[in-house]
């Protein structure tokens, strides 16, 4: 069925002017069949789990890791070769697992990726010089040692953040998971180890020969017609008939998802971007914007061996739908097993921040103006700060999406915040936890609240549609005064690097 939205209309316009890389059929949903990526039969490849990275050495306080960014050729679509840009040459990159309050030093080496990079560990309260500032470049032939305090147990991810090239760099593969655990969480009876599974969802488009196509439609959005989970198109995962914990990250450039299960089995939400919620909540479906993380328990115990359960995507507004983007992956129950895990009624102490604690409210209007993506009418300028909360201040930020036809997931670096309301209405049940990305739908306004700290200095805030972020829907705030300069304090160093 034709399902023409504003984006499709734009694409048709672009087609008429001959400026598109690919022909687009009038029936947008038949794109994949007629002219899109090579066809893949869903659920024929098995899910892979990114490998866990071992430290190169450890001492009493710190684990030292080394990651090399490089181009690699891999097989994503059966029988075709695809060049990716990966951390250690894989996409997603290796997973770093770390204990709370141990320190990590991660050496990111820009070896053969051929473009300037900057690494942001999304969700970590890093010092400004280790936060992956957009202009804190590590050029080819350089490396940089990033220091991370690991002060929050949560599902984090590291990804490229280089000015004007973030969307392409992340799309080509520069993204990986970083999981922080603490004793409190490990002491809970939740599913653990091989039953604690990360799922990174991304959409891609490929040429007929298998190359990744990055086409941001004139700095608007990069939408793919192939859904990858952990780098595998529409994978199948063999599971036992028991509970699993899934850490779901939307690692897409521009696509959001609304996930549900074909059996109408509910998800039990146990975590948001910044870790466990106070108490589990059951939902039949949930929406996840780019860079958001939700942790869910799925209980397969009621299913017979042989049952197949499909994760569906009921397209949220303002995405482009193709054949195949209405489903994500499949679970296949293949064995019976006992299940020692359970979901405790209380997961961790979670207190809403009282609005009365806020010392001020700021307003940020995200919109499209004269062909530019702007915040309060302005594009990125590293010389300009749009907010200066003092260390420890509680502030309410009111985030407006004034652009019809688009949604914007807004990411605020450094701090974890809470969503107070959306258009004056309470947040969805699954959004009631600590978060660092907030889904601002078409013409919506959100109020979020947070306490600024623990660091002083400069931090970025931006739309996590990385195409919008690149052009140039990003600004910065300064916490307190006199923090370390993000660019000059710990600049990248020339290779070869001395031993860690």
Nearer to Cu ion (CB atom), residue 399 or residue 463: 463
Nearer to Cu ion (CB atom), residue 63 or residue 203: 203
Least distance in angstroms from the C-beta of 91 to Cu ion: 23
Least distance in angstroms from the C-beta of 201 to Cu ion: 18
- How many whole angstroms separate alpha carbon 80 and alpha carbon 377? 45
Nearer to Cu ion (CB atom), residue 11 or residue 411: 411
In the sheet that 474-479 helps form, which strands lie side by side, from edge to edge?
437-440, 408-412, 457-463, 474-479
Nearer to Cu ion (CB atom), residue 249 or residue 492: 249
End-to-end CA distance of the chain: 57
Least distance in angstroms from the C-beta of 399 to Cu ion: 11
Least distance in angstroms from the C-beta of 408 to Cu ion: 3
Least distance in angstroms from the C-beta of 409 to Cu ion: 7
Residues that bind Cu ion (CB under 5 A): 408, 463, 465, 468
Strands 62-74 and 142-148: unpaired
- How many whole angstroms separate alpha carbon 246 and alpha carbon 249? 10
Least distance in angstroms from the C-beta of 326 to Cu ion: 23
Nearer to Cu ion (CB atom), residue 199 or residue 463: 463
Nearer to Cu ion (CB atom), residue 190 or residue 440: 440
Least distance in angstroms from the C-beta of 370 to Cu ion: 16
35 burial via Cβ count (<10 Å: 0-12, 13-18, 19+): middle
405: left (phi > 0), else alpha (psi -120 to 50), else beta? left
Helix (H) or strand (E) holding 11: helix 6-16
Residue 296 sits at φ, ψ, to 5 deg, of -130, 155
Nearer to Cu ion (CB atom), residue 98 or residue 403: 403
Closest CA to 314 of 332, 296, 327, 304: 327
């Amino acid at each position: 069925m034709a399902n023409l939205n504003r984006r499709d209309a734009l694409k048709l316009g672009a087609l008429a002017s001959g400026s598109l890389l690919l022909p687009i059929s009038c029936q947008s949903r038949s794109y994949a069949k007629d002219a899109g990526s090579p066809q893949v039969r869903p659920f024929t490849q098995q899910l892979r789990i990114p490998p866990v990275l071992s430290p190169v050495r450890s001492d009493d306080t710190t684990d030292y890791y080394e990651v090399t960014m490089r181009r690699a050729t891999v097989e994503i679509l059966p029988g075709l070769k695809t060049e990716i840009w990966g951390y250690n040459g894989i996409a997603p990159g290796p997973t770093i697992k770390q204990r709370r309050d141990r320190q990590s030093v991660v050496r990111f080496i820009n070896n053969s990726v051929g473009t300037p990079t900057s690494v942001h560990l999304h969700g970590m309260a890093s010092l400004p010089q280790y936060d992956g500032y957009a202009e804190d470049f590590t050029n080819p032939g350089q490396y940089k040692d990033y220091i991370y305090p690991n002060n929050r147990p949560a599902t984090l991810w590291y990804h490229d953040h280089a000015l004007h090239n973030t969307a392409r760099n992340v799309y080509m593969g520069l993204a990986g998971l970083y999981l922080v655990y603490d004793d409190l969480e490990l002491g809970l009876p939740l599913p653990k180890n091989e039953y604690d599974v990360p799922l990174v969802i991304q959409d891609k488009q490929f040429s007929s020969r298998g190359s990744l196509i990055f086409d941001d439609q004139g700095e608007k959005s990069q939408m793919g017609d192939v859904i990858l989970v952990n780098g595998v198109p529409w994978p199948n995962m063999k599971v036992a008939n028991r509970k699993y914990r899934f850490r779901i990250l939307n690692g897409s450039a521009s696509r959001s998802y609304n996930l549900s299960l074909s059996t109408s089995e509910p998800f039990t939400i146990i975590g948001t971007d910044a870790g466990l919620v106070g108490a589990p909540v059951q939902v039949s479906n949930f929406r996840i914007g780019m860079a958001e993380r939700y942790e869910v328990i799925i209980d397969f115990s009621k299913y017979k061996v042989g049952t197949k359960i499909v994760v569906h995507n009921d397209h949220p507004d303002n995405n482009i739908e193709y054949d195949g983007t209405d489903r994500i992956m499949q679970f296949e129950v293949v064995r019976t097993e006992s299940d020692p895990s359970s979901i405790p009624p209380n997961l961790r102490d979670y207190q809403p921040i009282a609005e009365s604690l806020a010392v001020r409210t700021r307003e940020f209007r995200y919109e499209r103006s004269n062909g530019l993506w702007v915040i309060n009418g302005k594009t990125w300028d590293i010389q300009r700060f749009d907010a200066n909360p003092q260390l420890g201040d509680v502030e309410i930020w009111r985030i407006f999406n004034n652009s019809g036809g688009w949604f914007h997931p807004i990411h605020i670096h450094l701090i974890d915040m809470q969503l107070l309301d959306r258009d004056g209405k309470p947040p969805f049940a699954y959004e009631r936890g600590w978060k660092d990305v907030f889904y601002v739908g078409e013409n919506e306004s959100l109020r979020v609240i947070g306490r600024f700290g623990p660091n002083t200095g400069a931090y970025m805030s931006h739309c996590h549609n990385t195409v919008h972020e690149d052009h140039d829907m990003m600004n910065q705030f300064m916490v307190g005064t006199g923090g370390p300069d993000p660019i000059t304090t710990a600049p990248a160093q020339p290779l070869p690097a001395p031993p860690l």
